[in-house]
A and B are shown apart, each in its own frame.
Chain A
Amino acid sequence: MATNTALDVVMPQMGVSVSEGTITKWLKSEGEPVAADEPLLEISTDKVDTEVPSPGDGVLQQILVAEGETVDVGTKLAVIAPEGAAPAAGLPSAEQPPPEKTPEPATARAAAESNAAAGGEAVTPTAETTEATPARTPTAETTEATPAPADAPTDGAADGKTFVSPVVARIASEHSVDVGQVSGTGRGGRVTKKDIMAYLEAGPQAPAKAPEAVPERAAGATAPPPPPAPAPTGAPPRPPSPEPAAAAGEQLEPMTAMRRGIAEHMRRSLDTSAHVTSAIEVDMSRVVGIREKLKKEYQSAYGVNPTYLAFIARTAVETLREYPWVNGEIRGETIVTRNFVNLGFAVELADGKGLIVPVLKNAETLNLLGMAKGVAQLAQRARDKKLLPDDVQGGTFTITNPGGYGTFHGTPVISQPQAGILGTYAVVKRPWVVQDELGADVIAIRSMMNLTLTYDHRLVDGALAGRFLRDLRKRLETWDESSY
């Protein structure tokens, strides 16, 4: 049948017990037109060899699994596109072929598929949250399942069995009765349902001991802990994580999934990398001037702002070329470096909901304009909640801007598994010592900005970090607008 959308060709199941098949021969090549039901390829399974017919009319747009490969039933083998569709140049492989790929992928495209940063969840390596202060400590008392007190029954039964059956436990808890106070006529002196019902009927002198008393008595018990029994204070079965109670003046709210994700990543990152931060002051006056000049042109011609981030990103990417370890990664005992930069940059979400770090892939191919556009588009998508998983994975280096609110220094958390994160801060006019045309020292007003590089000292030493920052600064301070 005619296709309007792309059709998948999948490995068929040639028999109920067959779980995989091998491609023996592709009968068509990429780009060739195919008709519905026309044989596309030959396969071999452990039951039979056969041909696989095309699911529809169109063009064999892409072959995803090569001859000789064995894949599971249901694996996508190829894509049939409608007539006239361009061959897919930039499509990433949907299914990974059997893993023989080297740790250092040969092509940029393949590399774009390599390890995600933090598992899909939004990550924010801002300075503010490096010190995680727990909001409140949950109170444990009401939820701990304490063993029932080993209270000797009054009739002094021989083996001192202190088992409390489920129904007795429930009745005791419903009526706030201390089972230890009830005399037991059951086997081994246990308190039976009858006993506790009789006790309740016996009347008001039954002491309504507070549940909190029980743990204290348990502490004093001498008998061996009884077989697992729900505590008299215990309520009906609880979900695994006990919920804390709010003390006076406190409000409780559950953590969102994003917050939990951030918390987990922050902790893990600090536990993984040896975080060290170096800072440098950059005279941004030149950039400020160029930026002013470009603003109007960029707005009218391209609809984007030439932001400071774009300038810094551009120079950072240039500089990373010479400092591949800062764009690198530690995998086991191996150091991974790349000839591409997937640049992550932090975006603050509305309503203080958190931060997300979209990734601009292959940032090394972008000039200033490309950087500005790329950043603007991704940021907009982030705010519109239209980011795809691909947009937040695969970063190799991150830039964050803790200085948005005027701060001049910070120590961001590295986004694992990267090796460094660049922090930018407020551009502030400061009095600065400069040289005049005669070489003498004078005070001038300069637009100054601090930059920090927080780096993983397992891989990047202070000297390297210092040189990186030095070169980065140089580029910013001597920005040549004709070449970018």
Chain B
Amino acid sequence: MAIAREAEPIGSLKEVREAGLDRDDLLEVYRKMLTTRGIEERGHILYRQGKIPGSFYTGRGNEASVGVATAMGPDDVGTPLHRDMGVHVARGVEPWRIFAQYMGRVDGPTKGRDGNVHMADSRLGLIAMVSHLPAMLPVAVGCALAFRIREEKRVAVGWFGEGASARGDTHEAMNFAGVRRLPVVFVCDNNQWAYSTPTHLEYATENLAGRAEAYGFEGVVVDGTDVLAVYREARRAIEKAREGGGPTLLECLTLRMEGHAVHDDAFYVPKEMFEEWARNDPIERFRAWLRENADLSDDEEGEIASGVKRLLADAMRRAEESPEPDPATLLDGVYASPEDLDTPHHK
């Protein structure tokens, strides 16, 4: 069993085809990354205009999470976190609902009951995160348990950050998954800063992927700014799990390009770090790759960009029209009724 393996970057379009994506798929990935960034940039503006209550978190620098979502099958499920907006977008969550969620309106996936990225559309195989990270890992493992019991060829993907890895939930989830060889993939968004705490104060080893050995499975370190490499490794891990090969720990290395949240200007991050990683911007890297390896033309690029812009402008308008929740509904839904179990999942 390999200890932490370093994944290579993707070279040519041919390699990509072998990994399962054609040119149209690639353009779609690019579009989704642009959409993800566009949503978060617009969110910044909305927040400073006072339209978003509470706090606002982004995953700038982690747009390659689109790669993981692209590698998931339609019936797979995931528990993305606040740096993984790309996963929501790639799975098909409509941007207007995301804006509505940010603004606490009724048409957000949580109908105003929870804020920022604490949302998920269960019909798209997504499960809403909580603030106590990484409490969703045991839950992802539980989903995989269900698949295993029922012998379904489905996979659960659980996300966590390098900071969250310090908590027992990570260990307990991975241990259980390893012991039972459950079909789950653990994705670590290692963006090197947990709020103001750098990695060397979160863990004492060189990387986190190496911990996989302790749980009996493989760990892989990937360049988290290379969406194609992320895709390829995620695909490998997910298919392995699907075929009964057990879990994988995928550590995607990137840099959190903004503060922990909008109120944090990340003064503690050395300027050089920002400068260095800015050169590795995931979207920019992919765009350059597409131009060189997939003949992305100016026209195509322009069309994609303006398409995203239009999409988001429409989404904003639509979200603004969504009403505020009615206080009279405050106590609704604290408890589930038997009818609530009529979702496809629960049957």
Name A residues whose Cβ lies closer than 8 Å to a Cβ of B: 1, 9-16, 18, 37, 45, 47-55, 74
Instruction: Count chain A CB atoms within 10 A of each CB in B45, B53, B259, B320 and give the residue with the most.
Output: B45
Closest CB in chain A relative to B258 CB, distance in Å: 11
Cross-interface CB contact of B263 among A11, A18, A54, cutoff 8 Å: A18
B25 interface residue (CB < 8 Å to A):
no
Beta-carbon contact of A16 and B54 below 8 Å: yes
Q: Which residues of chain B come closer than 8 Å to A14, judged between CB atoms?
A: 48, 262-263
B38 smallest CB distance to A (angstroms): 13
Bound CA span A214–B53, Å? 61
The 8 closest A-B pairs by CB, nearest first: A15-B263, A47-B263, A12-B50, A48-B265, A10-B50, A14-B263, A55-B49, A53-B45
Once A47-B264, A48-B265, A49-B265 are accepted as A-B contacts, the answer to whether A16 and B48 lie under 8 Å apart by CB is: no
- Chain B interface residue count, CB cutoff 8 Å, equals 18
Classify the interface of chain A: helix, strand, loop or mixed: loop
B293 within 8 A of A: no
With A and B bound together, what is the CA distance between A45 and B263 in angstroms?
A: 9
Interfacial chain A residues near B47, Cβ < 8 Å: 12
A313 CB, min distance to chain B CBs, angstroms: 46
Query: Taking CB as reference atom, which chain B residue is nearest A18?
Result: B263
Given known A15-B262, A47-B263, contact A52–B317 (CB-CB < 8 A): no
Least CB distance, A74 to chain B, in whole angstroms = 7
Smallest CB–CB gap between A432 and chain B, Å? 70
Closest to B42 in A: A37
Measured between beta carbons, the chain B residues less than 8 angstroms from A9 are 49
How far, in whole Å, are A290 and B187 apart by their CA atoms in the complex?
Answer: 93
| Complex alpha-carbon distance, A12 and B263, angstroms | 11
Q: Which A residues touch B317, using CB under 8 A?
A: 1
Bound Cα distance from A45 to B49, whole angstroms? 15
The answer to whether B264 and A12 touch across the interface, beta carbons within 8 angstroms, is no
Can you pick out 30 interface pairs between chain A and chain B where the beta carbons lie within 8 Å of each other? Answer: A1-B316, A1-B317, A1-B320, A9-B49, A10-B50, A12-B49, A12-B50, A13-B53, A14-B48, A14-B263, A15-B55, A15-B261, A15-B262, A15-B263, A16-B54, A16-B263, A18-B263, A45-B263, A47-B263, A47-B264, A48-B259, A48-B262, A48-B263, A49-B265, A51-B48, A52-B48, A52-B49, A53-B45, A55-B49, A55-B51
Report yes or no: B55 in contact with A16, Cβ–Cβ below 8 A: yes
* A-B pairs under 8 A by CB, number: 46
Contacts of A13 on B, CB cut-off 8 Å? 50, 53
B166 to chain A, nearest CB (A): 23
Interface residues of B in 104-163 (CB under 8 A from A): none
Give min CB distance, B195 to chain A, whole Å: 12
Q: Once bound together, how far apart are the Cα atoms of A11 and B55, in whole Å?
A: 15
A53's partner among B48, B55, B316 (CB-CB below 8 A) is B48
In the complex, A15 Cα to B262 Cα: how many Å?
Answer: 7
Chain B residues within 8 Å of A54, by CB: 49
A169 to B54 CA separation, bound complex (whole angstroms): 52
Closest residue on chain A to residue B262 by CB atoms: A14
Q: Report which of B45, B50, B316, B320 forms a contact with A11, defined as CB distance below 8 A.
A: B50
Choose among A14, A18, A37, A54 the residue with the greatest number of B CB atoms under 10 Å from its CB.
Answer: A14
Of all chain A residues, which has the CB nearest B54? Answer: A16
Q: Could you give, for residues 258-291 of chain B, a 1 whenever the CB lies within 8 Å of some chain A CB and a 0 otherwise?
A: 0101111100000000000000000000000000
The one of B48, B54, B316 that contacts A50, using a Cβ cutoff of 8 Å: B48
Contacts of A15 in B (CB 8 A): 55, 261-264
Residues of A within 8 A of B261 (CB): 15
Which residues B20-76 have CB closer than 8 A to chain A? 45, 47-51, 53-55
Which residues in A have their C-beta under 8 angstroms from that of B316?
1
Question: Closest Cβ of chain B: how far from A50's Cβ, in Å?
Answer: 6
| Assembly CA distance A51 to B48 (angstroms) | 8
Which residues on the A side are within 8 Å of B55 (C-beta)?
15-16
CB proximity of A135 to chain B, nearest CB, Å: 41
Closest to A10 in B: B50
A15 to B263: give the CA distance in the assembly, Å: 5
| Complex: A235 Cα to B92 Cα, angstroms | 65
Q: How far is the CB of B228 from chain A (nearest CB, A)?
A: 33
Q: Which residues of B contact A52 (CB under 8 A)?
A: 48-49
B51 neighbours in A (Cβ, 8 Å):
55
Known contacts being A1-B317, A53-B45, is A48 close to B264, with CB within 8 Å?
A: yes
By beta carbon, the residue of chain A nearest B53 is A13
Q: Which residues of A contact B263 (CB under 8 A)?
A: 14-16, 18, 45, 47-48
